[in-house]
């Protein structure tokens, strides 16, 4: 009869392709049971990976069957996303496990397009995902997500998020006319954003992606100080001027204690659709060098491709327009690395502690 020790040793040879670690030492392997020649076990991933689970299950079953005496193998591979710690002194948002800011130092680097595709990529991998359009002055997510109409409110105080492609969405763009300019000073804009965040009935989200406006102004600072951010992703182009501003965004998050999950280099290279010639219009490798300089993860690079722009403008972004295409594959790889970085962070245990009240005896 096979022993649990022999099975653990065999299963330890299977390496998670995303983390580079085995499932035994990371304690992802659970409930290993042996009954005669029958073996069963669970493997619990800390990140969404619906598309990869069948292949992982096959590898684990094959490894277990390689042990002498093993007959039938039942392997249950699932993802379980938990809440992780945010900045000190900032309580988690009810119904939201992890909040990820997608930021850039300057506009025009494709931050909103990146944010929407990362949200859709996480949802495609099986996570419950929300998307908050934090750009009060230039909301773009209603158009990119192909959503029209206004949010409903059952109590006059809170709003139901809009939804499309399996992602919950909230934006000031749902509450004002499309061509109306938001001529508000900073305090009004930040108050409106806090209301959008806290008065939306987010439905038990694994991840809330926050599409921040460009720069390091009032809105970014308020969110970074008052909202429980699990981490931030910096989007830049390889261009020197974009990198200069991206560094300012990095410094802002460092000062308020929000960890940087990594850097995404957008518009890294242009491939001519007629002749296939590759040209680095905005420079080459700038984002990768910046990641090395600041000792941060380089999450990936997206090309300057007309399909990305056309698909976002049409309200059907790349990840849902061409889910099996090369570009969607890059977005999914970036989203997966982002989720893995979060899974490796310290968990939030605030819910496990009892509330302590001090009363004075009379």
| pLDDT reading at 354 higher than 50 | no
| pLDDT reading at 261 higher than 70 | yes
Within this chain, do residues 203 and 103 fall inside the same structural domain, yes or no? yes
For residue 353, being part of any structural domain is answered with: no
For residue 251, being part of any structural domain is answered with: yes
pLDDT bracket for residue 344 (50, 70, 90): confident
Burial of 242 (0-12, 13-18, 19+ CB in 10 A): buried
Query: Which has more confidence, 55 or 215?
Result: 55
Residue 57 belongs to domain with CATH number: 3.30.300.130
Within this chain, do residues 49 and 119 fall inside the same structural domain, yes or no? no
- The residue segments making up the domain with residue 66 are 4-79
Within this chain, do residues 23 and 127 fall inside the same structural domain, yes or no? no
Mean local confidence (pLDDT), 328-351: 85
Give backbone dihedrals phi and psi of 225, rounded to 5 degrees, phi first: -90, -30
Handedness of CA 133, 79, 93, 159 (dihedral sign): positive
Residue 25 known to bind ligand: no
Residues 6+ away with beta carbon under 8 Å from 284: 238, 268, 269
User: What angle in degrees, to the nearest 10, is found between the helix axes of 53-65 and 4-11?
Assistant: 130
Residues 6+ away with beta carbon under 8 Å from 291: 262, 263, 297, 298
pLDDT the model gives residue 362: 43
Q: Name the 3-class secondary structure at 93.
A: coil
Within this chain, do residues 258 and 193 fall inside the same structural domain, yes or no? yes
* Residue 338, both tokens: 């982002």
| Predicted structure pTM score | 0.89
Q: How many residues would you count in the chain?
A: 362
pLDDT bracket for residue 360 (50, 70, 90): low
pLDDT the model gives residue 279: 78
Residue 341 known to bind ligand: no
Mean local confidence (pLDDT), 328-357: 77
Residue 111 known to bind ligand: yes
Percentage of residues in the chain having pLDDT higher than 70: 96
Mean local confidence (pLDDT), 224-248: 86
CB distance 158 to 201 below 8 Å: yes
Within this chain, do residues 57 and 159 fall inside the same structural domain, yes or no? no
Please choose, from the candidates 168, 170, 167, 165, the residue with its C-alpha nearest in 3D space to the C-alpha of residue 194: 170
Residue 209 forms beta bridges with which residues? Answer: 100, 131
Residue 110 known to bind ligand: yes
Please choose, from the candidates 104, 167, 90, the residue with its C-alpha nearest in 3D space to the C-alpha of residue 135: 104
For residue 90, being part of any structural domain is answered with: no
CB distance 258 to 101 below 8 Å: yes
Residue 286 belongs to domain with CATH number: 3.40.50.300
Number of independent structural domains in the chain: 2
Tell me the C-alpha distance between 179 and 177, whole Å.
6
Within this chain, do residues 207 and 337 fall inside the same structural domain, yes or no? yes
pLDDT the model gives residue 287: 82
* Residue 317, both tokens: 């972004």
Residue 108 known to bind ligand: yes
Tell me the C-alpha distance between 321 and 315, whole Å.
9
Question: What region does 257 belong to: left with phi over 0, alpha with psi -120 to 50, or beta?
Answer: left
pLDDT the model gives residue 155: 86
- Render pLDDT for 180-198 as a digit per residue (tens, 0 to 9): 777 777 778 888 888 889 9
For residue 358, being part of any structural domain is answered with: no
Q: Which of 2-11, 32-41, 114-123, 276-285 has the highest mean pLDDT?
A: 114-123
| pLDDT reading at 331 higher than 70 | yes
pLDDT bracket for residue 253 (50, 70, 90): confident
Query: Which has more confidence, 334 or 249?
Result: 334
Residue 109 known to bind ligand: yes
DSSP-derived pairing of the beta strands 231-236 and 96-103: parallel
Burial of 352 (0-12, 13-18, 19+ CB in 10 A): exposed
Tell me the C-alpha distance between 139 and 173, whole Å.
6
Mean local confidence (pLDDT), 280-288: 79
Within this chain, do residues 331 and 234 fall inside the same structural domain, yes or no? yes
For residue 107, being part of any structural domain is answered with: yes
Within this chain, do residues 75 and 137 fall inside the same structural domain, yes or no? no
For residue 14, being part of any structural domain is answered with: yes
Residue 106 known to bind ligand: yes
Within this chain, do residues 111 and 57 fall inside the same structural domain, yes or no? no
Within this chain, do residues 166 and 239 fall inside the same structural domain, yes or no? yes
Query: Where is 79: in which H helix or E strand?
Result: strand 73-79
Tell me the C-alpha distance between 201 and 44, whole Å.
28
């Amino acid at each position: 009869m096979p022993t649990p020790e022999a099975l653990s040793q065999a299963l330890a040879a299977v390496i998670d392709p995303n983390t580079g670690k085995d499932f035994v030492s990371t304690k992802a392997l659970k409930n290993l049971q042996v009954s005669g020649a029958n073996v069963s076990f669970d493997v619990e991933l800390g990140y969404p990976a619906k598309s990869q689970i069948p292949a992982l299950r096959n590898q684990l079953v094959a490894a277990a069957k390689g042990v002498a005496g093993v007959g039938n193998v039942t392997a249950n591979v699932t993802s379980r996303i938990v809440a992780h710690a945010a900045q000190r002194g900032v309580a988690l948002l009810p119904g939201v496990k992890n909040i990820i800011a997608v930021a850039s130092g300057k506009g025009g680097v494709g931050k909103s397009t990146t944010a929407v595709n990362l949200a859709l990529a996480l949802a495609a991998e099986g996570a419950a995902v929300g998307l908050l359009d934090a750009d009060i002055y230039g909301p773009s997510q209603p158009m990119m997500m192909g959503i029209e109409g206004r949010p409903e409110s059952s109590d006059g105080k809170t709003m139901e998020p809009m939804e499309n492609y399996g992602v919950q969405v909230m934006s000031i763009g749902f509450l004002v006319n499309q061509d109306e300019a938001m001529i508000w000073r900073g305090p009004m804009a930040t108050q409106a954003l806090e209301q959008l965040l806290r008065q939306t009935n987010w439905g038990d989200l694994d991840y809330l992606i926050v599409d921040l406006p460009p720069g390091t102004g009032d809105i970014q600072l308020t969110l970074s100080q008052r909202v429980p951010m699990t981490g931030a992703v910096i989007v830049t182009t390889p261009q020197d001027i974009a990198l200069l501003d991206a560094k300012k965004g990095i410094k802002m998050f460092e000062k308020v204690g929000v960890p940087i999950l990594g850097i995404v280099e957008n518009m890294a290279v242009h491939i001519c659709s007629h002749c296939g010639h590759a040209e680095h219009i905005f420079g080459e490798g700038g984002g990768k060098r910046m990641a090395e300089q600041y000792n941060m993860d380089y999450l990936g690079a997206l090309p300057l491709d007309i399909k990305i722009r056309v698909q976002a403008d049409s309200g059907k972004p790349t990840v849902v327009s061409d889910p099996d295409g090369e570009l969607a594959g890059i977005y999914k790889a970036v989203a997966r690395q982002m989720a893995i970085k979060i899974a490796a962070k310290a968990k939030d245990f605030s819910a496990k502690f009892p509330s302590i009240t001090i009363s004075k005896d009379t």
